A and B are shown apart, each in its own frame.
Chain A
Amino acid sequence: MAAETGGKIDPMHQFLIEPLFGRHWIVNGYDLSFTNSALWMVITVLSLAVFMAGGMKRELVPGRWQAATEGFTGFVQNMLTSNIGPEGKRFVPYVFSLFMFILFANVLGLLPFGVVPGWHPFTVTSHITVTGVLAIISFAIVLVVGFGRHGFHFFSLFVPHGTPVLMIPLIFVVELMSFLVRPFSLGLRLFVAMTAGHILLKVLAGFVINGLNLGVGYAAIVTLPSFALMIGITLLELLVAAIQAYVFALLTSVYLNDAVNLH
């Protein structure tokens, strides 16, 4: 829940990055403190490790847990083979890690840890520094794979087949721009989708609290509808958390397809 400052509820407070327990650790003028963002990344990775360890027992007849884990791996593998072809299997480890990390980070950020006083969940993916780095890793892999496989022939990606000679300079520039803007759009989409959803939830939470403080009449008119809306928006946000993780992995595999097969 957002911090209350003089009756006004600040929906942006949840995105504040602060060192745990207020302890700074400064090395040569750089602040290397263990922040709440880092803590939630560790929680994400740990819960992911537990999820995978429970599902990798290789039982002959899969139990529920193993079936869930196999569902995710099969899903990612299917996505890669249908987008890239048989060579897509090489990218399963990377795209699977990416998909699961984003999915777990998104969903963990929505969990109601706010019921514990003094705690609030932190959505790692609601900062462009995090999503931007993930997008740059994807983009770097596309470049390495593209130039590694095709050498300078990779530049033919920017001139589609059948382009009239007269149009080549223009098309090349346009395609180059659309290629270079990919990491920005990839990182920006995830960051903004998570930020917008969480701000909306906290604004509605502010309506609920303020309505309760104003008395029974306002509570009936303001708090009840806002709370009902919050439940609906929370369900929508769970959907968005899954869709954004899927879209990030899907676009990564589409870009990898360009690098592997040109077009």
Chain B
Amino acid sequence: MDAEAAKMIGAGLAAIGMGLAALGVGNVFAKFLEGALRNPGAADSQQGRLFIGFAAAELLGLLAFVTMIILVFVA
């Protein structure tokens, strides 16, 4: 296989990681809502933790994007 073609296939495969990160981010908010509806009084005080979890899950998806950009433009 051509090296250029392999790079593009790798970049395409990296996009799968972003879909998986979408699952993670959805899970963070779903669980938060689930808990918040059971105990709405405690929900507001946990918003900071919600966004920390969101940031951690999102970062891993963004790393897939960085891999993709590096494969297409740098490597």
Min distance, Cβ B75 to any Cβ of chain A, angstroms: 16
B18 to A, closest residue via Cβ: A196
A65 at the interface (CB under 8 A from B): no
Q: How far is the CA of A12 from the CA of B48 in the complex (A)?
A: 34
Instruction: Give residues 1-58 of B contacting A (CB, 8 Å).
Output: 45, 48, 51-52, 54-55, 58
Interchain Cβ contacts within 8 Å, total number: 36
Contact (A188, B48) CB under 8 Å given A196-B65, A247-B54: no
Verify A189–B65 contact, CB threshold 8 A.
no
Min distance, Cβ B18 to any Cβ of chain A, angstroms: 9
Contact (A79, B48) CB under 8 Å given A189-B59, A192-B66, A196-B62: yes
Q: Determine the interface band of chain B, counting residues with CB < 8 A from chain A.
A: 10 to 19
Q: How far is the CA of A195 from the CA of B45 in the complex (A)?
A: 32
A83 at the interface (CB under 8 A from B): yes
Partner of B48, one of A82, A195, A196, A243: A82
Q: How far is the CA of A79 from the CA of B51 in the complex (A)?
A: 12
Verify A250–B52 contact, CB threshold 8 A.
yes
A213 at the interface (CB under 8 A from B): no
Min distance, Cβ B13 to any Cβ of chain A, angstroms: 17
Q: Which residues of B contact A79 (CB under 8 A)?
A: 48
A254 at the interface (CB under 8 A from B): yes
Can you identify 8 A-B contacts, CB atoms within 8 angstroms? Answer: A185-B59, A189-B59, A195-B69, A250-B48, A250-B51, A250-B52, A251-B52, A251-B55
Contacts A12-B73, A83-B48, A188-B63 given; 9 further ones with Cβ under 8 A? A185-B59, A188-B59, A189-B58, A192-B62, A196-B62, A243-B51, A247-B55, A250-B51, A254-B52
